[in-house]
A = this chain, B = another copy of it.
Amino acid sequence: MSEDKGLLIVLSGPSGAGKDTVLKQLINKNENLKLSISATTRQPRSGEVHGKDYYFISENEFMDMVSKDNMLEYAKYCNNYYGTPVMQVNEMLASGKDVILEIEVEGGAQIRNKCPESVSIFVLPPSLEVLSSRLHGRGLDSSEVIEQRLVVAKNEIKSADKYDYVVINDSLDKCVEDILCIISAEKMKVKRMKKIIDEVLSNE
């Protein structure tokens, strides 16, 4: 691992845990942190821009990338494929940027296997009750759909212990602060500081 390389950060957590808002704030507060853009085989929705919201590619292109090991992780939802193109991530990391991926727990497991030096963070809601009331508060889903989401959430939370860190999204500011702290601390780990130690020792 080069010390100048950026950190690869995986962020997961159940729907309603507030990951999107947390991500926006993280990117705003830390200039060195970049969001990876996913590739998908689904059709662009109105207003979505290729290369900004997603890379919109055909299923042939997608499966070709998978077979060439050019997807860091991928999964299928509602008959569409979603994945993280490896090249884009590697280029950002090589230029020293930290890259954050918001992915499901299954994609998280794929990345931990492929990139053991990545840092994985699970965003936990303070309680299932709070999660339920957040989902109701969004007004996006019927009570039935919310019940299903809570079952999925519970299963996802059972995977939280596979992550390196767990942060609780009770207060948004505190949660963002916590994640920024984790990123800072990871950069002070001795494996990333060896070059600096050598520099101090060699420059008299």
Question: Could you tell me which A residues sit within 8 Å of B by CB distance?
Answer: 122, 124-129, 154, 157-158, 160-168, 178, 181-182, 184-186, 188-190, 193-194, 196-197, 200-201, 203-204
The reply to whether A166 and B190 contact each other, CB–CB distance below 8 Å, is: yes
Given known A-B contacts A165-B188, A188-B165, A124 and B197 have beta carbons under 8 A apart: yes
In whole angstroms, what is the CA distance A196 to B154 when docked? 14
Chain B residue contacts of A126, Cβ below 8 A? 200
Distance in angstroms between the alpha carbons of A125 and B122 in the assembled complex:
34
Partner of A185, one of B125, B154, B168, B182: B182
Partner of A129, one of B125, B154, B167, B203: B203
Complex Cα–Cα for A34 and B124 (A): 29
The contact sample of 21 A-B pairs, CB cut-off 8 A, is: A124-B193, A124-B196, A124-B197, A126-B200, A127-B200, A128-B200, A129-B203, A157-B200, A158-B201, A160-B190, A161-B194, A161-B197, A162-B190, A164-B190, A165-B185, A166-B197, A167-B188, A178-B188, A181-B181, A185-B185, A185-B186
Q: How long is the Cα–Cα vector from A186 to B158 in the complex, in angstroms?
A: 21
The reply to whether B166 and A193 form a contact with Cβ atoms under 8 Å apart is yes
Shortest beta-carbon distance, A26 to chain B, in Å? 15
Check B189–A157 contact: CB distance below 8 A. Answer: no
Q: How far is the CA of A118 from the CA of B189 in the complex (A)?
A: 14
| Those 9 A-B pairs whose CB atoms lie nearest each other, nearest first | A185-B185, A166-B193, A181-B181, A165-B188, A182-B185, A181-B184, A160-B197, A128-B204, A181-B185
